Structure 1
Amino acid sequence: MRLSNRNKTPFYSFIYSLAGIILVLWLIAFILEINKFDVLGDKSWVLLFIPTVMLLFLYLSGRPIFEYDSDGEALNFRNCHILFLLSQNNAKDEFPKYKLIKYNVVNVLMFSTLYVYVSSKKSNVVILKYDLTFMTKKEIKDLKFSLNKVVKTNGETSKDDNTVID
């Protein structure tokens, strides 16, 4: 199963561009307020507070592009940001399906995060984290269905390996 929200990239670019333009315009308004108009007096900091909170919210909401591919013998996860400045935290992971132990989708307020637990040779379990905030509920439901199928298959395989044949 392939799942991607890459087709929404132009919309996300528009939102980030709009937020940047608003920040620049409010910064110009702040400078004019301090130097020329002085209408707000000591409360001119409000002109910087609103766009700063908006940009902070966009930053904290995570990486908007999520791609998942379970075709074949491997699971592919890709979670990236559309802004170059924030692209250092991009996540791209590929591992065999049999290494998937479990997963967990955490929803806090309006933020969603996927935690994937993978077995490893060096340590017992590696936890991978992906942002699902920009995914629709239907896409998250499809992702859960596909991951449940892989976890169930892995559980049945491990039970078969533990049986003793006389």
Structure 2
Amino acid sequence: MRLSNRNKASVYNFINTVLMMMVVLGILGFLANEYRFNVLESESYLLIIIPVLMLILFHLNGRQIFEYDSDGEALNFKNRNIIPFLNKPLHDEFPKYKLIKYDIISIFFIKRLYITVSSKTNGSTMLKYQISYLTQKEVNDLKLSLNKVVKANKEKKD
């Protein structure tokens, strides 16, 4: 099964651009208010604070692009940001039989995928992916696919 939200990259780029423009316009509005109009008084700081907080929340929510491929004998995970230099992109590929378990953690609007993979050196390794920008249907499809792999691995062990 293949799962990808790469086609939404243009939407995420647009949102990022709008937020950056709001920050710039907020700074310009703040400076205009401070040095020329002085209408807002101390509330003029909100012109900077609110757009900056929105931009920070957008990027703290995690990497925007998530790709998953379970076709063949390997599982392939890719997780990257729309701005290449902001975060290091993640790319992991391993055989299906190494998947031990997975967990999806949801806290408010932040979702994380934790994959536990068997490893020769230290027994098991945990891989972390940010899936906040996946729709609920995509998350359910991902769970279904990973459940099949985990179930098949348990049947092979028994």
Q: TM-score range by the shorter chain?
A: over 0.9
Distance 2:28 2:112 in 1: 36
TM-score by structure 1 length?
A: 0.92
Q: Distance in 1 between matches of 2:48 and 2:127?
A: 36
Matches within 5 A, 1:72-111: 72-88=72-88, 90-111=89-110
Q: What's 2:129 paired with?
A: 130
Deviation of the 1:87 alpha carbon: 3.2
Q: Any idea what the Cα deviations from partners look like across 1:77-101, whole Å, max 9, x if unmatched? A: 000000123132x111001111100
Q: In terms of mean alpha carbon deviation, does 108-117 or 43-52 score higher?
A: 43-52
Deviations 1:79-127 (A, max 9, x none): 0000123132x11100111110000011111111100000111112111
For residues 126 and 77 of structure 2, what CA distance do their matches in structure 1 show? 13
Partners of 1:15 and 1:42 in 2: CA distance = 28
Deviation >3 Å, runs of 4+: none
TM-superposed deviation, 1:37: 1.4
Q: Aligned partners of 1:50 and 1:58: how far apart in 2?
A: 12
2:27 counterpart residue number: 27
Q: Which amino acid aligns with 1:152?
A: K
Structure with larger Rg: 1
Structure 1: segments with no counterpart, 5+ residues: 160-166
Per the alignment, residue 146 of structure 1 pairs with 145
Greater CA deviation, 41-50 or 143-152? 41-50
The normalised TM-score by structure 2 is 0.96
- 2:86 partner SS: helix
1:4 aligns with 2:19: no
User: Aligned letter for 2:80?
Assistant: C
Structure 2 unmatched runs, 5+: none
Matches within 5 A, 1:23-62: 23-62=23-62
Match of 2:14 in 1: 14
Give the Cα–Cα distance (whole angstroms) in 2 for the partners of residues 54 and 12 of structure 1.
Answer: 14
The whole-number CA distance in structure 1 between the counterparts of 2:38 and 2:11 is: 37
**Per-residue deviation, residues 4-63 of structure 1 (Å, max 9, x unmatched):** 011111111111111111111111111111111111223321111110110111011111
Task: Calculate percent identity across the aligned residue pairs.
Answer: 49
The secondary structure found in structure 1 opposite 2:18 is helix
**Aligned equivalents of 1:17 and 1:157: distance in 2?**
49
Q: Distance in 1 between matches of 2:116 and 2:51?
A: 37
Paired letter, 2:94: F
